[in-house]
Structure 1
Amino acid sequence: MARNMSTPTPVTPAPQAPDSPRESESPPPPGLQGDLEMELLGLATALYNLGTTVVNDLTKEKDKPGGVAGKPVGMRVNEVVNHLATLEGMSGSIDTMVPMQVLVDIDNSRNPMQLTKDRIERAATENQFMNGKIHAIDSYRKMLDEALAQNFPELGEHLMEPSLHTAAQSGEPVKAEEDASNVLLNGA
């Protein structure tokens, strides 16, 4: 039975995994990007179907010797080749660049979604660590100001309040009284 190679067979999407981003979260984007995503989904489905067909055929061969006729493996291989040919045809009009690290991770059997999640969690952890350092420095500064005001009462009125401290950091002008007292503190 001859098959027309120029007409791709319609792709029925496989049931989605619970963590799959497609169909449960958003539809494919319109245009060429969406067509590419659907073709990649079709390729993944065809590869899955090929794998299950091969496994099923291997288990059947153990039970009955002989009989090569009627195996659907060739049809499944043709589906995979058709999807690859369609992707090759689409590649000329796609200008999206894929980072090399993503391809290396896929080659090393790592899920890019898991790597993204790990990197986001790492950034959040580092952010919390830095916020802890900032809080520790602010708390130390407050304790130092209190100790200076207690041990050197004449400096107590010149120590900056937290609101004045943030104003000085943001570049806002400090009150003239504060500037005059800083001159006296600096010995001028």
Structure 2
Amino acid sequence: MPLDNVEKQLRNVIQTLYEAQVAISDYAGPQSIEAVQQQMNRLVSQYSELDKIKDTLDVNIPKEIVMYVEDGRNPDIYTREFVEIVAKQNQFLNGKMRAFEDFRDVLAEQIKTTFPELQGDVEHVLRATSGKYKPKLEETPDQIVPAKHES
């Protein structure tokens, strides 16, 4: 899998950077130069391999995640915050839906009470919108037809 290969290459780059850091911090004069040069050459070839792999990938990383990483933050925090925001928005929208459903049902009852001749239309709308329609015991849903209005 291409992403597994990228992950492996990135781990190699990180390891090489660590080894280069150790070689530089343990610098013991001219004899250490060769070790540092080897680490740098290996790093260049690993970057070259990563560059070749990039053309085989079709992955889009959101700009916000890249900015998180560039700012030294953990991308998992971004994911957690994103999930929390989506959950809050979902709760808000569910609340709005319930409020509209309740309003629909109250309005339907008021229309049926005020305009009894529209009862068939109201019940048709309630059925179509999954509203709280309570058929009379003697009627079946297929018997309820929207009232015809004369123009």
Q: TM-score, normalised by structure 2?
A: 0.60
Match of 1:152 in 2: 114
Once residues 100 and 76 of structure 1 are traced to their aligned partners in structure 2, the CA distance between those partners, rounded to angstroms, is 32
* Distance change (3 Å), C-alpha of 1:100 and 1:146: closer
Deviation at 1:114, TM superposition (A): 3.3
Q: TM-score, normalised by structure 1?
A: 0.51
Match of 2:129 in 1: 166
List aligned pairs for 1:1-188, cutoff 5 A. 29=1, 32-51=2-21, 53=22, 57=25, 67-68=28-29, 71=32, 74=36, 76-91=39-54, 93-96=55-58, 98-99=60-61, 101=63, 102-149=65-112, 151-152=113-114, 154=116, 157-158=119-120, 159-160=122-123, 164-166=127-129, 175=142, 177-179=144-146, 181=147, 183-184=148-149, 188=151
Once residues 40 and 46 of structure 2 are traced to their aligned partners in structure 1, the CA distance between those partners, rounded to angstroms, is 10
- What RMSD, in angstroms, separates the aligned Cα atoms of the two structures? 4.0
Number of residues of Structure 1 aligned to a counterpart in Structure 2:
138
Structure 2 counterpart of 1:40, which letter?
L
Does the residue aligned with 2:129 lie in a helix, a strand or coil? Answer: helix
Identity of aligned residues (%): 17
Once residues 46 and 30 of structure 2 are traced to their aligned partners in structure 1, the CA distance between those partners, rounded to angstroms, is 25
Once residues 132 and 45 of structure 1 are traced to their aligned partners in structure 2, the CA distance between those partners, rounded to angstroms, is 51
Stretches of structure 1 that go unaligned for 5 or more consecutive residues are 1-28, 62-66, 169-173
* Distance change (3 Å), C-alpha of 1:49 and 1:143: farther
Once residues 107 and 7 of structure 2 are traced to their aligned partners in structure 1, the CA distance between those partners, rounded to angstroms, is 59
Stretches of structure 2 that go unaligned for 5 or more consecutive residues are 132-140
Structure having the higher helix fraction is: 2
